[in-house]
Chain A
Amino acid sequence: MSLLTGDGIHSGYGDMEVLHDVSFRIEEKEIISIIGPNGAGKSTLLKTIFGLLKPTKGSVTFKGNSITGLAPDRIVRLGMAYVPQVENVFPSLTVHENLEMGAFILTDDFSARLEDVYELFPLLKKRRRQRVGKMSGGERQMVAMGRALMLDPELLLLDEPSAALAPKLAEMIFERITAINETSVSILIVEQNAKESLKLADRGYVLASGQNRFEDTGENLLANEEIGQLYLGG
């Protein structure tokens, strides 16, 4: 049984359908990268999986149960977490408070989990009392990912984690994504920075005009000449 499967998903905003019949699967402990040009529907797909958009057709199945049309606050309790591309932190709260909010639904002590997250992002521990609104883009991305990890999810959805980051910071974020994956969290990542994200992915999907065009291992997609020319900038 796959951890997450999408089957024939049609979705979009109001009358505008963005995704036309998209199917995919994620196995446990995999990193899956979805690449594709701007406007291909990558973010729409993540929003549909996480219940922020309702699919007009098709289904989403998580750990064997249908989550199609379930609200985000229900899905988060099932062990899936989502980091939006923008506005993914609470700027007027401190680093520590942002992480605490990540654990909002827990009623028991989460200090052990907090230490795990600080171990993944040692910089956050140093800045724990700082307000996130005053931090840089890379640091905010770490806070956003740390917040999503507070519930120890089985699947993490990341929307363009390297967007608007300097190459060196982007590299650091990708390296952290691998480290998170090694703690047996499956990851579904959507990226403009296709080359970098395919390098760390077990498998990848190429999405164009709201449809699956290719599916293969990350390596094979990187080696594919047609994809290279069309989507990886030659």
Chain B
Amino acid sequence: MQILSRIPQLLIYGVISGSILSLGGIGVSLTYSILGFANFAHGDFMALGAYIALGLFTLTAGLGIPSTPLGPLSFGFGFILSFILAMGLTALTVVLIDRFLFKRLRHTSSIILMMSSIGVALGLRNVLQFFWGPQPHYYIEKIQLAIVIPGVGVRIKPDQVFIIIAAIVSVGLVHYFLQHTKMGKAMRATADNMALARVTGINTERVILWTWVIGATLAATAGILAGIENKFITPELGWQMLLSIFASVVLGGLGNPYGAILGGMIIGLSEEVSTAFISTGYKPAVAFIIMIIMLLIKPTGLLGKRR
């Protein structure tokens, strides 16, 4: 009975962690569907975004841009400005990584691309560690009090409400892009059949560019939101989440961004709810077991493409 009473609260945590996993998963899924490889550097794109935001936040504070908390949130305008700029700078960095590395390897095999992404992952993480060190850095050190939702008795912090809203807005924008813009439709067409996209006259190089821009922007968003949720960031932030993100993407169906959103939510909820029954240390194991079960039952995932 005591265990069951904890579940509503764990569901809230699950939605928060699911929101972050979903945002990370969309990028992994898009890269896989357009470029055909599992990008192991995606977690480190998240960490990169989180650290660029930290750097910019320090800079805005130094420039005297105010960051008095907005309403009930623990951060203000200066932080939100850093957040938005960090999304753009992360996208720019990732596009440069593509130009200098992935683009040159695109004619080789998906295995070589995957291996080189592991190299990018290690490289990025060490660059972050070089500049900021391995120790945690705090966005905001102040402790925020949770609001108790009357009736249900669950507690949620205003920052956590912000995370959920930011995730919903991001997912809504991705959906609008994919379904209602010419480039979004071209991206889905290229994911279906790149050779046909080329003979149709679709500029597949520009599609690839947009794939990286969107994936990286969402990765930065996920990294920064994870930093807000955890209160601190480390260079390992994204890498630690990568297994859960891969599990989400496989669960939802490799190559389907909507599957990544669904998978992220399921993995996030399962990981959090599992803590009512088993030790918190087993969270990654829960994601891994779900992924293996899915691969055994239906390898194409919940919303996977029929081949």
Q: Judge if A73 is at the interface, Cβ distance under 8 Å.
A: yes
Q: Judge if A133 is at the interface, Cβ distance under 8 Å.
A: yes
When distances are taken between beta carbons in the complex, the residues of chain B under 8 Å from A72 are 198-199
CA distance A147 to B185 in the complex (A): 14
Q: Identify A91's interface contact among B192, B195, B203, CB under 8 A.
A: B192
CA distance A77 to B188 in the complex (A): 22
Assess the A97–B199 pair: CB atoms within 8 A: no
Assess the A90–B196 pair: CB atoms within 8 A: yes
Q: Judge if B104 is at the interface, Cβ distance under 8 Å.
A: no
Q: Which residues in window 186-242 of B have CB below 8 A to A?
A: 186, 188-189, 191-193, 195-203
In whole Å, how far is A191's beta carbon from the nearest beta carbon of chain B?
20
In whole Å, how far is B46's beta carbon from the nearest beta carbon of chain A?
27
Using a Cβ cutoff of 8 Å, how many contacts connect chains A and B? Answer: 61
CA distance A91 to B189 in the complex (A): 8
How many residues of chain B are within 8 Å of chain A by beta carbon?
19
CA distance A29 to B68 in the complex (A): 72
Q: Judge if A102 is at the interface, Cβ distance under 8 Å.
A: yes
When distances are taken between beta carbons in the complex, the residues of chain B under 8 Å from A104 are 182, 186, 200-203
How many residues of chain A are within 8 Å of chain B by beta carbon?
26
Q: Judge if A109 is at the interface, Cβ distance under 8 Å.
A: no
Most buried by B among A50, A100, A101, A105: A101
Q: Judge if B305 is at the interface, Cβ distance under 8 Å.
A: yes
Q: Judge if B107 is at the interface, Cβ distance under 8 Å.
A: no
A104-B182, A133-B306 known; A93 vs B202 contact (CB < 8 Å): no
Chain B interface residues toward A at CB < 8 A: 182, 185-186, 188-189, 191-193, 195-203, 305-306
Chain A interface residues toward B at CB < 8 A: 50, 52, 71-73, 76-77, 82, 84, 87-93, 97-98, 100-102, 104-105, 133, 147, 151
Q: A90-B196, A101-B186 are in contact. List 14 more A-B contacts (CB 8 A).
A: A73-B199, A82-B199, A84-B195, A87-B193, A87-B196, A92-B188, A92-B191, A93-B188, A101-B200, A104-B182, A104-B186, A104-B202, A133-B306, A151-B201
- Could you jot down 9 A-B contacts, CB within 8 Å? A52-B199, A76-B199, A92-B188, A92-B191, A93-B189, A97-B185, A101-B202, A105-B201, A151-B201
